[in-house]
Amino acid sequence: VRLRPILMTDIVGIIGLLPLALSVGEGTELLKPMAIAVIGGLVFGLLLVFLFLPALYFIFEKRKIKVVIARNPSVDG
């Protein structure tokens, strides 16, 4: 997983939405919840990419190795 581009994109998005999420005043009652939801989605997506995806890769790679060993019993693994 490419760490730097994903982190930079999400951080820039979060920083860009922070003024909207923290704003107080007239007309922000509709935009503030939207900004908070988008920030939450960016954070959740970031966690998903860096925690769930590597675990998924690991599980599938392990399964692939088991299939290869089962098909070629002469290969010691």
Number of domains in the chain: 1
Range(s) of the domain holding residue 13: 3-71
Asked if the structure places residue 63 within a domain, the reply is yes
| 12-43 per-position pLDDT tens digit | 999 999 999 999 989 899 999 999 999 999 99
Per residue in 60-77, pLDDT tens?
998 888 887 788 777 555
3-state DSSP of the chain: CCHHHHHHHHHHHHHHHHHHHHCCCCCHHHHHHHHHHHHHHHHHHHHHHHHHHHHHHHHHHHHHHHHHHHHCCCCCC
**Looking at residue 18, what is its pLDDT?**
96
Could you tell me if residue 22 is inside a domain? Answer: yes
Q: Evaluate whether residue 77 is within a structural domain.
A: no
* pTM over the 0.95 mark: no
Residue 33 belongs to some domain of the structure: yes
Q: Is residue 51 part of a domain?
A: yes
